[in-house]
Amino acid sequence: MTTAQHSELFTLLDISADDAAECRKLLATPPSEPVLRAIAAMTERLGTFPLESIHAGVDDETAWIEALLRFAPSVHAYHLTLGISPAVSAASLADLGLQLRINRRVHGRFGLDTWRWLTLHMAGNLFRLGRLQFHLVRETNANSDSHTPSQRPGWVLGVHIPEDGGLSPAAVDASFAEARSFFPRYFPDKPAAVATCDSWMLDPYLAQRIPNSNIASFASRFTLDRCSDAPTDAVYFTFRQRGLQDLDRLPRETSLQRAVLERIDDGGTWQLGHGHLAL
């Protein structure tokens, strides 16, 4: 791969300077057998609509980074064949660069401990539309238990919240408005009338504690179906710290930071809220 091709790839994936230097090293030699195996697994899934990430028998984080880098142009090309704009494709694939930066912030080094999450992007059915990401998948029994078949369609949009911005009602409205036109246009045979969200932000405690926040406004859009324990999610997504150690060292400067830590101080457990809304 030439210098110009590297530059084009890193621009597509929004890979910043420090990470770009490490990525160039990975691309400087022919791919290893684990990298080829990971690429083959992603190739098989491109154009399908999987709900789950893949492993392909490859445990090496670095191999997955290289495989994702090498395979991303194929996903971009697939998007373009569907008529999806280069800008939307790039915004969707740029999560790779964002996750590399998050890993550097969490661990202080180059890496990608969220590589499993990125394998979902590589199937070509997860898109960033404005503030939010939307993942087009088939309905499953697991997330339709609390609804009759007439209430839930065969296809749903899983909603995900990238960390790089606020959740103002206007920004969220714009994302949902774009999704309502985007998916019928490019996937007309897969109508999704419902969006789902599985997030610690939907834990009812959060809306009770900071009721006038943008997070509470976002959560109020969804009908809460159930909750499940997720003790570390709130800490990870608020502070980008794995685990619950040394919580006394974390800042308590914002109302969100205080809410997250004080609930744990009081012996509480953060939960994952599972909710849905009609599109």
Distances (CA, A) of 15 to 144, 170, 183, 217: 38, 28, 27, 32
- pLDDT tens readout for residues 70-101: 999 999 999 999 999 999 999 999 999 999 99
Amino acid at 86: P
Fold of 131-279: Aminopeptidase (3.40.630)
Angstrom distance (rounded) from CA 264 to CA 257: 11
Other beta carbons within 10 Å of 144: 18
Q: Which two tokens stand for residue 164?
A: 């790089």
- pLDDT tens readout for residues 221-269: 999 999 999 999 999 999 999 999 999 999 999 999 999 999 999 999 9
Q: What is the dihedral of CA 252, 255, 257, 260, to 10 degrees?
A: 120
Burial-class residue 250 by CB neighbours within 10 Å (0-12, 13-18, 19+).
middle
Mapping DSSP to helix (H, G, I), strand (E, B) and coil, where does residue 277 land?
A: strand
Q: Give the end-to-end CA distance of the chain in Å, rounded to a whole number.
A: 43
- pLDDT tens readout for residues 154-209: 999 999 999 988 999 999 999 999 999 999 999 999 999 999 999 999 999 999 99
Domain boundaries, the chain: 1-124, 131-279
